[in-house]
A and B are shown apart, each in its own frame.
Chain A
């Protein structure tokens, strides 16, 4: 047993987190920064933060993840990190020549109280930022929120730094995809374009963190939202933010400052959430939905009706981020599965209320908690076993110990490929999710079936 100390008995815990279902803000900020074309993320803190974030993102994407650090020493921790950051900005522009440096803070620089805005201004005043180049920044203290918060803060920094309103509508539509995979970003753009919309999508890590193998390394890949596009976001027809936690702040900032009307939708995971996204987009952008999209919707529904017997009343345990879990739970209950244990490490009471609402009709008790961990989830599972577990790679330890069919979902996925190339959002993504769920469930049936009940046709 790999998690041999996890007991069925649940003892109260207030101070000790065991097996977290979240990580810290800066990694989310680093991931978002990589979604800007020509951008080098910069971690203002000890060099270990940057090393850890790069390592985790690299393992998840199996792609180069470049970022720089202020490399704080004990001295900088006492006297502040200004000298380190100004020097870093100079060295980065001289050596690596990015168009933008996106600085995020860490618990160290936040605790010291470094004012990155002032330091960046000093770097400009000292002539360390070449003409036409940019330094943007977001405050991302690790002791507030989670990696999702960091993603949100950096995404908001993109619009506050770049977006302008020229008074001349650009005829485009802003889409903020949330903390999703590059494949999802591609999919969201594809769907919007199929509807005749020219999207400005940011951040956009497609073709940054799923680049082709060409034998020629490019430190700044072709993908990522461009400065021009970000600047122009203030002239767009509207904004749809996908995922309230990861994307709403940026959308609201655009609305407040440049009067770009925004709405916040759930991530388009599953049938109903995708329906709402596409319907909202259709109305806000004043377009009609082409048959090609309606056909995809019908195909997703077709898989559901064809395979409903395998989904019906299967109990599911889930760990992940609120923006993903809410539409995922909605999707699972819509195909008559029963999500019975749901945890996220990201704090926020709204999450629990939404999940309660979505699962109110289920004929069983539902455990849901925000700001908790996978140890809690595992204990719940030991008390009420499930037929399926969906979580990031760390879930595999629970799945192995308790012999639970397992679908990898969320961040990070460290032991499989696919997530960066194949989406789980929109109708196509819904089909992929169902394929993965069915593979896990049916493989288990095949494994466990007595010989006489081992079926060719399922």
Chain B
């Protein structure tokens, strides 16, 4: 059934219904995080409650600071020995579960991503302190693996018992002569995994970026920030860049290495994919090294083309511009034939997306390309700027939970600061439509009267399914089977289930086909057995 034939519920009524059952205090809090999307005459969207504490007991899908730091940001880097300092669980659960792919150049290159390292703290470590065990663990890791760097991730009890992981890191760095650094990413920090992203990126920026000044002989040097190579997304983006002649100095942090981070300050442009997890790194690199940044998005074929043109526009060279156009033309031919075919079966169907800090926005492009409409969306751990656009950043209230996450004071590096473009050039480029440091957020891109929900709860999800009956719901593993048991296909957009890549041109084709498979599957027609469809009894005479 298409949207034209389907009457969508009144979003205000839906909101009321979502809040009806909650205790009054919870309802008040949630009502700020549930909005009907409406733009005023200036195009401004209403202000949403985001990056605020989760209501205890509500069944959130959010994770913790440790998960954001160790799992998301440092997880995809293959050649650092990442030691979890804590009881065994945290290290165990973050071991290989995120589907970020890596491809060491040779068999001899380091790859520790398949390993899980932990101090496995026991009760005596909690009582007497775990620093001694941590030091011994680092020493043993050095003896066995001789890695180029070791990092330490703090779990909840570490902060409480007062282990100083940074002092241990300094001491062992001195002793072993390799780079060793710690992260205070205890799970209770902040309100979601977003705090962990920030802690991780601050650490990478402080301890690795800028350590290798080698200038690579390459053209059009960029960094790709906020791309984690889930399901091979980064590989597809790399392929396209290579075809275009654009050189990627480093990716933060899909398929990444220590050396790429160390050398990343030699790039001439930062491109930001996931605004939420990394926009501050782009800001810091601009202040310290003079590298401008632009927001790009490689989810969706049209977005990919647009992003490539944006990058080419920045470098202002005809050769690059025409090569990019040639690549787009060639790739779009394959994309269009699949897209039109899939669109003929998906047009008008409804999607919901509750995921991440950027994907709930980016994936709407892919759905739009095959004619599907996003009726409700929200992020799990994003901030107001990811919903409403960066212009709200100065107005964001810094609460107690955000204050606990360190903001680095960055200044221009006396030696390495080198503005890639003069102010004049930036202005000229802006006049030509290259937008620097710009992100307008998800809400302005969404239709009027769609429902925007931050940190959606299990209860709200169930009501949304009943009221909208979407054709597909996109979220994470914890939601997956409750949705599918409701008879609605569910696509994971954290880990992509078993699929991917979905980025770039080939990724778009993969995604169209995947959604076609899911929303047009015949399996859902088998939910009832014949005797449930026709329960009336029939009888026969025995002699028949």
Q: What residues make up the interface of A, taking CB atoms closer than 8 Å to B?
A: 1-5, 7, 11, 13-20, 22-24, 26-27, 42, 45-49, 51-56, 58-59, 62-77, 84-85, 87-92, 94-96, 106-108, 111-112, 141-144, 146, 211, 213-219, 345, 375, 394, 397, 414
Contact = CB atoms under 8 A, between A and B. Distances in A.
Interface in B473-531: 476-478, 480-487, 524, 527-528
Given A17-B119, A75-B400, A90-B57, A55 B97 contact: yes
A47 B115 contact: no
B126 A143 contact: yes
Nearest to B459: A95
Q: Which of B61, B83, B478: most chain A Cβ within 10 A?
A: B478
A95 B22 contact: yes
Interface in B127-162: 133-137, 139-141, 143-145, 155-157, 159-161
A15 B137 CA distance: 5
B533 interface: no
Contacts of B458: 66, 96, 219
A23 B116 CA distance: 12
Contacts of A2: 111, 114
The 6 closest A-B pairs by CB, nearest first: A48-B64, A24-B89, A88-B57, A215-B487, A46-B187, A15-B136
A48 B187 contact: yes
Contacts of B143: 11
10 contacts: A15-B134, A47-B60, A47-B192, A66-B458, A73-B53, A88-B57, A91-B57, A94-B22, A95-B58, A144-B123
B89 A26 contact: yes
Q: Which of A22, A94, A142, A143: most chain B Cβ within 10 A?
A: A143
Nearest to B117: A18
Contact of B88 (A24, A51, A63, A112): A24
Contact of A5 (B96, B110, B187): B110
B191 interface: yes
Given A24-B87, A58-B480, A69 B115 contact: no
Contacts of B114: 2-3, 397
B188 interface: yes
Given A17-B120, A92-B57, A74 B404 contact: yes
Contacts of B49: none
B485 A217 contact: yes
B58 A3 contact: no
Nearest to A95: B459
Given A77-B160, A143-B125, A20 B459 contact: no
B237 to A, nearest CB: 24
Interface string B86-119: 1111111111110000000001001110111111
B43 interface: no
B512 to A, nearest CB: 25
Contacts of A141: 87, 123
Contacts of A219: 458, 462, 482
Given A19-B95, A219-B458, 11 more contacts: A51-B61, A59-B477, A69-B60, A71-B54, A71-B55, A91-B55, A96-B59, A106-B156, A213-B484, A213-B527, A219-B482
Contacts of B63: 47-48, 51-52
B188 A77 contact: yes
B120 A217 contact: no
B76 to A, nearest CB: 16
B56 interface: yes
A91 B123 contact: no
Contacts of B161: 111
A118 B128 CA distance: 27
A5 to B, nearest CB: 5
Contact of A48 (B53, B58, B67, B111): B67
A17 B118 contact: yes
Interface string B301-319: 0000000000000000000
A178 B94 CA distance: 26
A63 B481 CA distance: 5
In this complex, the interface size class of chain B, counting residues with CB under 8 Å from chain A, is 35 or more
B60 A71 contact: yes
Q: Which of B187, B190, B457: most chain A Cβ within 10 A?
A: B187
Contact of A91 (B56, B155, B478): B56
Contact of A16 (B54, B57, B137, B485): B137
B284 interface: no
B115 to A, nearest CB: 6
Interface string B35-72: 00000000000000000011111111111111100000
B250 to A, nearest CB: 23
Contacts of A62: 481
B482 A15 contact: no
Interface string B217-251: 00000000000000000000000000000000000
A68 B211 CA distance: 44
Contacts of B116: 17-20
B164 interface: no
B57 A42 contact: yes
Contact of B58 (A76, A91, A146): A91
B527 A142 contact: no
Given A23-B93, A47-B62, A143-B122, A55 B459 contact: no
A217 B156 contact: no
Nearest to A112: B160
Contacts of B112: 5
Contacts of A42: 57
Q: Which of B55, B59, B60, B141: most chain A Cβ within 10 A?
A: B59
B189 interface: yes
Contacts of B527: 213-215
B121 interface: yes
B26 interface: yes
Contacts of B481: 58, 62-65
B432 interface: no
Contact of A22 (B21, B88, B96, B144): B88
Given A16-B140, A74-B188, A66 B482 contact: yes
A58 B112 CA distance: 26
A41 B317 CA distance: 60
Contacts of A107: 86-87, 89, 121, 126, 155-157
B23 interface: yes
B491 to A, nearest CB: 15
Interface string B375-405: 0000000000000000000000000110010
B87 A143 contact: yes
Given A14-B136, A48-B66, A90-B23, A211 B485 contact: yes
Contact of A58 (B91, B92, B478): B478
A53 B97 CA distance: 12
Contact of B188 (A16, A22, A76): A76
Contact of A108 (B188, B476, B484): B188
Nearest to A113: B160
A215 B485 CA distance: 5
B88 A88 contact: no
B401 A74 contact: yes
A87 to B, nearest CB: 5
A91 B30 CA distance: 13
A85 B486 contact: no
Contact of A143 (B62, B117, B157): B157
B478 A51 contact: yes
Contact of A213 (B120, B462, B485): B485
Contacts of A95: 21-22, 26, 57-59, 457, 459
Contacts of B97: 55-56, 59, 414
Given A51-B67, A91-B55, A20 B88 contact: yes
A92 B457 CA distance: 12
A294 B134 CA distance: 55
A158 B118 CA distance: 32
A23 B88 contact: yes
B455 to A, nearest CB: 10
A143 B123 contact: yes
Contact of A18 (B21, B115, B187): B115
